[in-house]
Amino acid sequence: MAIAGGEKKLKKPWQGRFTKDTTDAVLKFTASLPYDRRLAFCDIRGSIAHVEMLAEKKIINVDEAGQIISGLEKIRGEIADDCFPYDLSFEDIHMNIEKRLTEMLGSLGGKLHTARSRNDQVALDMHLYVKEEIETVDRFLKQLQETLLVLAERFEGVLIPGYTHLQRAQPVLLAHHLLAYFWMLQRDRERLEGALRRADLMPLGAGALAGTGFTIDRQLVADKLGFKKLYENSIDAVSDRDYIIDFLSFSSVLIMHLSRLCEELVIWSSAEFGFIELDDAYTTGSSMMPQKKNPDVAELIRGKTGRIYGSLMSILTVMKGLPLAYNKDMQEDKEGLFDTIDTLKALLPVLSEMLQTLTIDRSRLAAAVDDDYLCATDLADYLVRRGVAFRDSHHIVGNMIAFCKEEGIRLRELDSEKRSRFHPAFSEDISALLDPAKVAEARVSRGGTAPSAVREQLQLARKELAL
């Protein structure tokens, strides 16, 4: 339904002390209706709980409450059916709903706003909305974790080069590498749980900033709406946006983790690496070069990082100099939040689906791992077990590798006479140390890349998800 300017049949709730109408330019500049419409169902839900409380406290009578609730239910239906008459001249979704209710019920509609302000009303709607969306985002995150577990199990036993500084370092299991992202996401979900706790505070009853003189029951409203706690300070209740900052902070760390994952998907799918291939359904081609297969989904997720970071920096900047309590600046809390939620809800399912369909090139991976320089640390440890200080053994093995590179050979191609030049402790039994699979198997410490350790890690991961 389009948003119309419409004729002002009803005065705005705050217009009593004004002698002039708001100019069209100011109206368009200050109105939040084009984007806060998504709060409509939260607003109606909060209003119904508020009205029920007013009736139970005998601030309005039961018949009045019933008519108001019935009107709100009809409005909910109009919005659901996309036939609600939005009016931009009434600024936001909250005043639009009240205007429509007043059209239906006359002056009785005005009793809905008894004992509340738009300040605590909007705060309530935002808390309800954030709580709902956190549940959705968490569900998508859990699905992504499950996908990573499935991949780890599918590629059990597959070795890849582990990297530091994007240089080959030591052989690791692909499953171990994938599980690193699982644990990142687990911490993200813990951060999200913290954001939920901060959102699970009920602000209604704070009024504009000082509370209300009516004998309301804030706990009753909180119970009706499923809040665990109340704000204990009315000024804090209407001026707090920490829960939004917490959500955007969580989102920024999450998208950083996802960007790192997508960066590796981009690198690994390149011709230079060739470790994986992304499914055709999750890639695109070039308008000029027929051979191209571009990892656009991974790249775009990586690109969304700046967008989400920007939303966090925006709200931090908005809030950093505001005096208590409410200021119009705080209207800027919504667009960045809404955009971030929409972005996460769009990209998380797509990333899960893309990961489920990727394939690996086992021959390319085997060739990359078949580099016995990756086993150099184990050679150094071999000497340590024979009494050589690690710093000395590190230097000795470094010299061996420099020699091999100069000769164009691998470590395993050194004969016993050449090995003994570097240290007499080297014997024929070092050949087992130059097998990448054996090197990985030796990393049996908790959290290591040995198959036994990775299996334990998988069990812990599944326990975290209660699978």
**Catalytic positions, written as ranges:** 165, 286
The residues pairing with 160 across neighbouring beta strands, listed in sequence order, are 172
Strand 229-230 and strand 201-202: the pairing is parallel
Q: Is 352:147 a contact under the CB 8 Å cutoff? A: yes
The answer to whether 27 touches 4, Cβ cutoff 8 Å, is no
Cite the DSSP H helix spans in 155-241.
174-199, 218-225, 234-239
Q: Burial code of 421-436, b = ≥16 C-beta within 10 A, e = fewer?
A: ebbebbeeebeebbbb
Residue closest to 156 by CA, chosen among 178, 183, 180: 178
Angstrom distance (rounded) from CA 134 to CA 2: 29
Burial (CB < 10 A; 0-12, 13-18, 19+), residue 400, is buried
Q: Three-state SS for 202?
A: strand
Report d(CA 55, CA 66) in Å as an integer: 9
Is-contact 150 356, C-beta < 8 A? Answer: yes
What amino acid is encoded at 126 in this protein? Answer: M
Please report, as a single letter, which amino acid is at residue 178. Answer: L
In angstroms, the Cα distances linking 166 to 163, 355, 378 are: 5, 22, 20
**How far is CA 104 from each of CA 8, 84, 99, 110, 260, rounded to the nearest angstrom?**
16, 13, 9, 11, 54
Dihedral sign from CA coordinates of 199, 205, 206, 207: positive
Question: Encoding tokens for residue 199?
Answer: 């959102």
Distance CA 434, CA 372 (A): 6
How many C-beta neighbours within 10 Å does residue 327 have? Answer: 13
